[in-house]
Structure 1
Amino acid sequence: MSTASTIPTERTSAGTQSPRMAELDLPDVQNPGEVAPKDAREISKVFFARLNSLEEGTHEYQYVRNTLIELNLALVKYAAGRFRNRAEQMEDIVQVGTIGLIKAIDRFELSREVEFATFAVPYIVGEIKRFFRDTSWAVHVPRRLQELRIDLAKAVDELSQKLDHAPTTAELAEHLGIDEEEVIEGVVASNGYTAGSIDMPMDDASDHAAVPLSDRLGAPDADLEIAENVQALKPMIEGLDERDRRILQMRFGDEMTQSEIGEALGVSQMHVSRLLSRITGRLREGLLLVE
């Protein structure tokens, strides 16, 4: 990210402009970042006028553009000051705001007859807000829902004052001109803006010491999957012939060994093993199809 200390302005070692820059007929700005705001506004006008006459990509164009960035970094710091209470580092906010400043410089025209600061601050603030919108959510949701959350928050404040009660879903939908389903979707998505750790102690009115939420959360029932499989297997077992059902009952119900089953059926243990493999394979295949 370009900053006042890193943007090159092409000067000689003695601190004066190079001969090439002297030909631009511009004020000699030794330390643009230290220029007073009032002077920076006047000097910026001169540099903007010169910028419009230069070819983009040339060395001269880069010098004038970079000097404009340095001259107006105070606008970025001013705008970033509004967000000093955010958790993000101020250095990161300033860097993002500088992107907005550069966009404003590239799009500004003196013919607009408006002060550059008035034109640039919305770009800077918008870039910072976009940064928060894209990085501050604990759970990623589509940008459409991120923007809807902001609209809903404003609508709730406005309608609460106007109606003297918390607005209903229908009232919010009518106010915003959207469907009630969209309002509900936006409210649900708003839950993803922040997230708390399940290891944080829970405060309640009990006399017991605070315990983390994780200690109060239930765990999946280890027997639940077995119960589901049993219910899914019942119609499959009923579809087997009588001998196959009898073999399953002896092996898994009566817990008989393959040798004992072979003696009861008058077949070899090897044959019982093949029968069991065929039956269980058929049931397994049917169970996978059901899932």
Structure 2
Amino acid sequence: MAKPVEKVMGRDLREELVEQHQRLVYFVANQFRQSKMEWDDLVQIGFIGLIKAVDRYNPGIKKVKFSTFAFHYIRGEILHELRALKRHNPAMEVSVENVVEGGGEDDEIRLMDTLGTDPDEVETTVSNRVALEESMADLTDQEREVISFRFGKQWTQGEIAELFDVPEKRIRVIEQKAIRKLRRQMVR
């Protein structure tokens, strides 16, 4: 396990890194300006991601530049909050029975019609997706990141290990532990 960043870098260097990379927070937050979240909230959440990146970055063992490392944390933190906001917003809920109105009286289309499958199958798929997203919230940050890189971005365990500068075996262990947690959550 890596040493806490304060012991490796020192408090002054930590503060300096945050100060030097403020513009990166604004740059990333600007990419989400069209979202439903207020600008100030996006920036605050971005700074939380930057601080997490500073806390997890070890200049002695990381092979990537800090700005690259921090970019992923800032973006990930903002995305996490946007997903949480979307998940808890009843107006964003969609049922397979929801109707999308067309131009005429008989032009109504239900979501299950557009998906072209059995309504029960569609509802099961949607329910599984919601359950998976809720279960992901129970994972640690590290487990969530590994699962997101592995299955969301389709990275290999070797690529993830290189990013985090840990042995590939460690990524495999984290991935397996996260999958076990997700299975337990999904079975409930």
TM bucket (normalised to shorter chain) is: 0.3 to 0.5
Greater helix percent: which structure? 2
Between structure 1 and structure 2, the one with the greater Rg is 1
Structure 2 length as normaliser, TM-score? 0.46
Structure with more contact order per residue of length (Cα contacts < 8 Å, sep ≥ 6): 2
